[in-house]
Amino acid sequence: MTNDTDRKRDVATAFGDAADGYRDGAVLKEGADLERLVDWCSDATRALDVATGGGHVAGSLAETDVSRVVAADLSPAMVRTATDVYDGLEGVVVDAERLPFASDRFDAVTCRFAAHHFPDPAAFLAEVERVLAPGGVLALEDLCVPADPELAAYVNRLERLRDPGHVETYSRDRWRGWLAETGLTVDAVHETSRRLEVDAWLDRMDVPTDRRREIRTVLSDAPAALEDAFAFRFESADRERLASYRTGVVLFRASA
Ligand SMILES: C[S@@+](CC[C@H](N)C(=O)[O-])C[C@H]1O[C@@H](n2cnc3c(N)ncnc32)[C@H](O)[C@@H]1O
């Protein structure tokens, strides 16, 4: 419990320091994935965006017919950033695993690229199920790891080196299991991938130089299966330095 509390405090601080990058970074600001999540919530009137970061999902929802959009994050700096950039948002500082809202309060909950920071994803889903009115929609998107446990462990090792607040990226099937256990019905699953430029990915979390070196070493020792699965692209033909790779992403639409 204490470990989780400390971890969450560190996550809030780290993201607070990185708020500008998350607000301006093109990787999160737009994309077909964002449009899909918003489209899944098109019938909503009261939406909650959990771990809103730079507020891109919440802001997009507010631009549609959703009349009330709450932008919620553990980091007060992120909440400020989101509500400064996008009009019409109500900002709230929250822990995703203990949502300070009455039951049945929302008809849509979104959460994009954040659940890998939550120490207890099942607790998060239970809270989502509680605050969603019957028939309400969860639109969830996160990174996902390959089913192979060795590759999954490798990816999580890299992510933790980059961001000590990274808890774990899970596979599609692990999420499916938790959703079912929570009593949410999966209506749609969409799998995709994102190409990440390694330097920009490290810049976003302001990774210090010695840590960057370590990450680069781990990347250059990556198993061939990961190189294939993640479509590694090198800066030059000598394959000395990795320029970018594709990471798995999964989107779920589930109903309460
Ligand atoms: C990558 S950013 C989210 C990006 C954003 N959803 C978007 O689509 O642009 C991850 C966010 O998760 C937030 N976060 C991490 N742990 C959290 C928790 N337990 N509860 C709420 N927010 C959390 C961080 O503060 C950070 O703003």
pLDDT tens per residue across span 32-70: 999 999 999 999 999 999 999 999 999 999 999 899 999
CB 119 within 8 A of CB 167: yes
Q: Could you give phi then psi for residue 211, rounded to 5 degrees?
A: -70, -35
Q: Which long-range contacts (CB under 8 A, 24 or more apart) does 115-120 make?
A: 115/51, 115/140, 115/142, 115/170, 116/142, 116/143, 116/159, 116/166, 116/167, 116/168, 116/169, 116/170, 117/11, 117/51, 117/165, 117/166, 117/167, 118/167, 119/4, 119/7, 119/8, 119/167, 120/4
pTM comes to 0.92
Q: What percent of the chain has pLDDT over 70?
A: 98
**Domain residue spans of the chain:** 2-146+165-194+247-255
3-state secondary structure of 9: helix
**Pocket of ligand 1, candidates 17, 33, 41, 75: which has the most ligand atoms within 8 Å of its Cβ, to mutate?**
75
pLDDT given for residue 26 in this prediction: 67
Q: What is the pLDDT of residues 223-250, one digit of tens each?
A: 898 889 889 999 998 888 899 999 999 9
* Cβ of 226 less than 6 Å from ligand 1: no
pLDDT given for residue 254 in this prediction: 98
Q: Does the pLDDT at position 2 exceed 80? A: no
Q: Does the pLDDT at position 214 exceed 60? A: yes
The DSSP line for 79-120 is HHHHHHHSTTEEEEE-BTTB--S-TT-EEEEEEES-GGG-S-
* Cβ of 28 less than 6 Å from ligand 1: yes
Q: How many CA atoms lie within 13 Å of 256's alpha carbon, on the beta-carbon side?
A: 22
Per-position b or e across 20-45, b if 16+ CB within 10 A of its CB:
ebbbebebbbebebbebbbebbeebe
**Pocket of ligand 1, candidates 17, 113, 194: which has the most ligand atoms within 8 Å of its Cβ, to mutate?**
113
Q: Does the pLDDT at position 172 exceed 50? A: yes
CB 108 within 8 A of CB 66: yes
pLDDT given for residue 28 in this prediction: 83
Hey, how many other C-beta atoms are within 10 angstroms of the C-beta on 108?
A: 25
* Cβ of 95 less than 6 Å from ligand 1: yes
pLDDT given for residue 120 in this prediction: 96
Fold of 2-146+165-194+247-255: Rossmann fold (3.40.50)
CA of 235 to the centre of ligand 1 (A): 31
Q: CA nearest 170: which of 147, 189, 193? A: 147
* Cβ of 118 less than 6 Å from ligand 1: yes
